[in-house]
Copies of this chain bind each other. A is one copy, B any other.
Amino acid sequence: MTYTTTEENYIKAIYHLEHVHDKVSTTLLSEEMNTRPATVTDMLKKLESKKILHYRKYKGFILTDQGNKTALNVVRKHRLWEFFLVNKLGFEWDEVHSMAEELEHISSNELTTRLDNFLGNPAFDPHGDPIPDNKGKIKILQQECLAAVTVKKSVTVSSVKNQSTEMLELLNHFKIGIGTKIKINKRFGFDGSMEIRIDKSPAMIISKLVALNVFCII
């Protein structure tokens, strides 16, 4: 089975939303896809007929195994291309998303396999998100939210939740990236901000919102 670029984008969006919300609604999906709910309803019928999801009018929808498999393949390509763009072409992590959004639809499986090998079969993309292997298997790390880490502990940044350009730009400014080692000096009760230190550089303050979006390995 092959799917259009649009279908693949819907499948991937449903996959992502299913991992954040326990029930994905038509409206939620329409917001994610920047379309109208009516458009989503049409697409749901189409994807149902292609056995990508189970759908019952007014009752909701959920990806089938086939749907999940397809989503994982698109996610795999997206993250492999992001890795390529950052590690081979020298792009910054905040520049690659829209390019990967196009590259993820290149169809050749052989190309994906060879790209994977060329990159050294990476397990994580530049944002710390796991790259599914060719069977759809994902490495799951035991991570903790930086906002919840005990004071005085040292941790290693492993992923970023909010991946907006603004957030990544801010982390760039702080010189925080995947793999950065952080020591938590103090947490301020007033606004939940934290004083942290990277190596020997001077201590700095990050807001609670930033801390909530950074995940670490302890």
Contact = CB atoms under 8 A, between A and B. Distances in A.
B111 A89 contact: yes
Interface string A162-203: 000000000000000000000000000000000000000000
Contacts of A111: 85, 89, 99
Contacts of A95: 110
A110 B91 CA distance: 9
A27 B70 CA distance: 39
B89 A115 contact: yes
Interface string A81-101: 000010011110001001100
A73 to B, nearest CB: 15
A174 B107 CA distance: 31
A95 B114 CA distance: 13
A108 interface: yes
A39 to B, nearest CB: 19
A85 B113 CA distance: 12
A58 interface: no
A61 B107 CA distance: 34
Contacts of A43: none
A103 interface: yes
Q: Which 5 A-B pairs have the closest CB atoms?
A: A89-B114, A99-B108, A102-B106, A99-B111, A89-B118
Given A85-B111, A89-B111, 6 more contacts: A88-B118, A89-B114, A89-B115, A90-B114, A91-B114, A102-B107
17 contacts: A85-B111, A88-B118, A89-B111, A89-B114, A89-B118, A90-B114, A91-B110, A91-B114, A95-B110, A98-B108, A99-B106, A99-B108, A99-B111, A102-B105, A102-B107, A102-B108, A103-B106
